[in-house]
């Protein structure tokens, strides 16, 4: 007898930061070729998917970072559920409830985490039988960072970021993240990257071997010396006050300070968990709000519980 299909599935999906984010040329499809090294970190969105016969796909959102998240067809979790239903040949009927722990439009792939969480939850709810690779393919149609939100860990992303190669790493990196008020729209930051380097001839980025070596040896100082983000100058140009945040973290003893992805969240690397708390305290003491310690890598989107909401009807 096969296991009963659940009525309620809860999934937790992590945020990401980029240890390397090298932006290549603008492609004909409007995306940029990337070489990036993703790491999933311990800030999470939680998504509860509940069977909703006849109800279509509906989403509700709560949490400190819920403001500004659309709850219509633009919501990435809604789009994910609809695309998966179409692929699996099932009716798109589910209620998704998202509790945001990841900043919105913050450069930490919060929307992508919700899409990945919806894929994992609806896959279990609808018993689609799709394998991991098929889910990764669906994820790539939803956004460049969605496949990584499924995979988690540390991975090299190529193409527009959606083609992943898991990377071998040792140990855990301890971070402090500073959230900024108000997000930055990813396309706006990419457009600023293009504007700032309009005179620079075509760049073909490569994976940073010093970074990969530091990750393999688990040496936070080596990682600190090799972190790069080609989007940082653009994020600082659009949000100049981030410079003060980055400086405050360095003055507070962080090994490195950089903008996370397309920003405006700033990431500070620490030696270990205790040092991360020291850096967090120093940042707070310097008058900076929304200071959040986290660590990585952590696993990608995973089912944390599933249950039958009502007795089976016979």
The answer to whether 36 and 21 have CB atoms below 8 angstroms apart is yes
Return the exposure string of 274-291: e unless at least 16 CB atoms fall within 10 Å of the residue's CB, then b.
ebbebbbebbbeeebeeb
Residue 5 C-beta: closest distance to ligand C5P, Å: 31
**Location of structure tokens 């729209």:** 185
The answer to whether 95 and 122 have CB atoms below 8 angstroms apart is no
Residues β-bridged to residue 306: 9
- Nearer to ligand C5P by Cβ, of 112 and 245: the residue is 112
Residues whose CB falls within 8 Å of the CB of residue 3, separated by 6 or more in sequence, listed in order:
none
Look up 16 and say whether it is catalytic. yes
- Nearer to ligand C5P by Cβ, of 158 and 284: the residue is 158
Residue 140 C-beta: closest distance to ligand C5P, Å: 9
Tell me how far CA of residue 188 lies from CA of 143, 252, 264, in angstroms. Answer: 16, 31, 12
Interaction site with ligand C5P (CB under 6 A) = 30-32, 34, 143-145, 160-161, 186-187, 190
Residue 32 C-beta: closest distance to ligand C5P, Å: 4
Q: Which of 114, 145, 180, 230 is catalytic?
A: 145
Residue 236 C-beta: closest distance to ligand C5P, Å: 18
Residue 239 C-beta: closest distance to ligand C5P, Å: 17
- Nearer to ligand C5P by Cβ, of 186 and 226: the residue is 186
Q: Which of 16, 33, 123, 180 is catalytic?
A: 16
Q: How far apart are CA 144 and CA 231, in angstroms?
A: 16
Residues β-bridged to residue 38: 18, 155
The answer to whether 63 and 99 have CB atoms below 8 angstroms apart is yes
Residues annotated catalytic, as ranges:
16, 145
């Amino acid at each position: 007898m096969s296991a009963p299909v659940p009525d309620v599935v809860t999934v937790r999906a992590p945020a990401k930061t980029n240890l390397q984010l090298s932006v290549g040329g603008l492609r004909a499809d409007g995306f940029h070729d990337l070489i990036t090294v993703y790491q999933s970190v311990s800030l999470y969105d939680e998504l509860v998917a509940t069977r909703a016969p006849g109800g279509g796909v509906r989403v509700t959102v709560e949490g400190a970072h819920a403001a500004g998240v659309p709850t219509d067809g633009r919501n990435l979790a809604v789009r994910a559920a609809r695309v998966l239903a179409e692929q699996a040949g099932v009716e798109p009927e589910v209620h998704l409830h998202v509790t945001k722990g990841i900043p919105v439009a913050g450069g930490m792939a919060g929307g992508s985490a919700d899409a990945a969480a919806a894929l994992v939850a609806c896959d279990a709810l609808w018993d689609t039988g799709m394998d991991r690779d098929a889910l990764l393919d669906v994820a790539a149609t939803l956004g460049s960072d969605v496949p990584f939100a499924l995979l988690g860990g540390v991975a090299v992303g190529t193409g527009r970021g959606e083609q992943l190669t898991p990377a071998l790493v040792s140990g855990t990196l301890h971070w402090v993240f500073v959230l900024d008020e108000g997000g930055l729209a990813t396309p706006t930051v990419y457009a600023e990257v293009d504007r700032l380097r309009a005179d620079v001839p075509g760049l073909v980025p490569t994976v940073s071997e010093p970074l990969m070596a530091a990750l393999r040896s688990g040496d936070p100082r080596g990682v600190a010396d090799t972190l790069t983000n080609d989007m940082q100058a653009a994020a600082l140009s659009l949000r100049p006050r981030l410079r003060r945040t980055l400086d405050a973290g360095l003055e507070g003893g962080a090994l490195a300070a950089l903008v996370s992805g397309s920003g405006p969240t700033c990431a500070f690397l620490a030696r270990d968990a205790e040092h991360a708390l020291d850096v967090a305290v120093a940042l707070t003491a310097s008058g900076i709000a929304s200071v959040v310690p986290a660590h990585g890598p952590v696993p990608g989107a995973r089912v944390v519980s599933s249950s039958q909401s009502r007795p089976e009807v016979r």
